[in-house]
Amino acid sequence: MFANYLIGLREGLEASLVVCILVAYLVKTDNRKALPAIWIGVGIAVTVSLAFGAGLQFGTQELTFEAQELIGGGLSIVAVALVTWMVFWMRRTARHLKAELHGKLDAALNLGTGALVATAFLAVGREGIETSLFVWRSVDAADDGWRPLAGCLLGLLTAVVMGWLFYRGALRINLSKFFQWTGGMLVVVAAGVLAYGMHDLQEARFVGGLGDKAFDISDSYPPDTWHATLLKGIFNFQPDPTVLQVTVWALYLYPTLVLFLAPVGFPASALGRKAALGREEQKASHEQGESAGSGGGSDGGPGPDRERMRDGARGAGDRPGGDEVRGGTGP
């Protein structure tokens, strides 16, 4: 339930922020007459997302067990790919989301009502499709489907309230930090979904290794305890995973978390930055040495100009009246 609440909150807040930015921009620029087009686009996006989820839920019930597991495993991989792309995209663009949406909305205003509907639909529909796919996968994996649905609905309601508070100016949080923390948790959730999806592909006999267990603690792992429910909801943990499940889980989780938590601009490493800085300092020192050697510089280096000045001074001292020349006064 917690994982689905997180999905609903994260995806719902993204959609809510997008809608709030679009509405606020239209209100501030005195384009209130365009607001119905935004709400039409949002309504279409919600309808399509619900229809997509319903199609997944009811459209696969008449299929054979192997076909259901094959579709479930394949869509799990698709869901993980979408969520992974989404968290990295939001991590990179969270600070510039408002400017990006303003640019798109300006272009849509020039194109007319249809473009405004499409802008709102595309902005909200992506999150809706991802949410439907992820929640359907959780409902399909759960013994009681109402818990994932309840968690997702609570997350969406929380996101709507937060979006309204943002619009009213009553809520101020660091969105970059918020999306970073929730994105990291979603990566952990996605790793569990990916592992469960691989188990579905094994049950569909599309991938082998179903009998190769990494470990089996089923006898000492009561599935009805609170900690078992928590591990199942967050990590899709099962007491008897296969070797392939554990391998895929680890190969996805650790590299993805490292990349996600790295500073923006990765993979430029600290060692690479230090080497580049050393090269720049060496180049500057070399250029400074060449300048001193060619122009005589202010440090008294033996440049050609300074040698000529010394020769001239010695010549003036050897001529009659050289003292007067050096002193600058006559008899």
- pLDDT computed for residue 100 by the predictor: 66
Q: Please tell me which residue, 306 or 177, carries the higher pLDDT value.
A: 177
Q: Please tell me which residue, 139 or 118, carries the higher pLDDT value.
A: 118
- pLDDT computed for residue 266 by the predictor: 43
- Computed from CA positions of residues 50, 54, 55, 60, in that sequence, does the dihedral angle turn out positive or negative? positive
The region of weakest confidence among 95-104, 127-136, 164-173 is: 95-104
Model-level pTM? 0.64
Q: Please tell me which residue, 185 or 307, carries the higher pLDDT value.
A: 185
- pLDDT computed for residue 229 by the predictor: 67
Helix, strand, coil percentages for the chain (3-state, nearest 5):
80, 0, 20
Mean pLDDT of all residues in 16-32: 82
* In the chain, domain spans: 2-267, 271-315
- pLDDT computed for residue 329 by the predictor: 39
- pLDDT computed for residue 322 by the predictor: 44
DSSP state of 218: G
- pLDDT computed for residue 286 by the predictor: 58
How confident is the prediction for the chain on average, in pLDDT? Answer: 75
SS3 86: helix
pLDDT at 47 over 80: yes
- pLDDT computed for residue 321 by the predictor: 44
- pLDDT computed for residue 72 by the predictor: 84
Chain segment 263-284, per-residue pLDDT in tens: 765 444 444 455 455 555 665 6
Q: How confident is the model at residue 232 (pLDDT cuts 50, 70, 90)?
A: confident
pLDDT at 251 over 90: yes
Q: How confident is the model at residue 82 (pLDDT cuts 50, 70, 90)?
A: confident
275, 283 contact by CB (below 8 A): no
CA dist 197 → 73, 102, 149 (Å) = 4, 38, 19
- pLDDT computed for residue 317 by the predictor: 47
DSSP state of 263: P
- pLDDT computed for residue 136 by the predictor: 76
Chain segment 171-210, per-residue pLDDT in tens: 676 767 777 788 888 888 889 889 988 998 999 889 988 8
Please name every residue paired with 242 in a beta bridge, in sequence order, or none if there are none.
213
The region of weakest confidence among 10-14, 47-51, 57-61, 250-254 is: 57-61
The CB density around residue 179, as the number of other CB atoms within 10 Å, is 22
Contacts of 108 (CB under 8 A, 6+ apart): 115, 116, 118, 119
- Closest C-alpha among 301, 326, 304 to residue 314: 326
Q: How confident is the model at residue 313 (pLDDT cuts 50, 70, 90)?
A: very low
Q: Please tell me which residue, 312 or 221, carries the higher pLDDT value.
A: 221
Q: Please tell me which residue, 98 or 251, carries the higher pLDDT value.
A: 251
Q: Please tell me which residue, 325 or 99, carries the higher pLDDT value.
A: 99
Q: How confident is the model at residue 149 (pLDDT cuts 50, 70, 90)?
A: confident
pLDDT at 58 over 50: yes
Concatenated DSSP letters of 270-311: HHHHHHHHHHHHHHHHHHHHHHHHHH-TTTT---HHHHHHHH
Q: How far apart are CA 97 and CA 123, in angstroms?
A: 11
- pLDDT computed for residue 252 by the predictor: 95
Chain segment 111-120, per-residue pLDDT in tens: 677 777 887 8
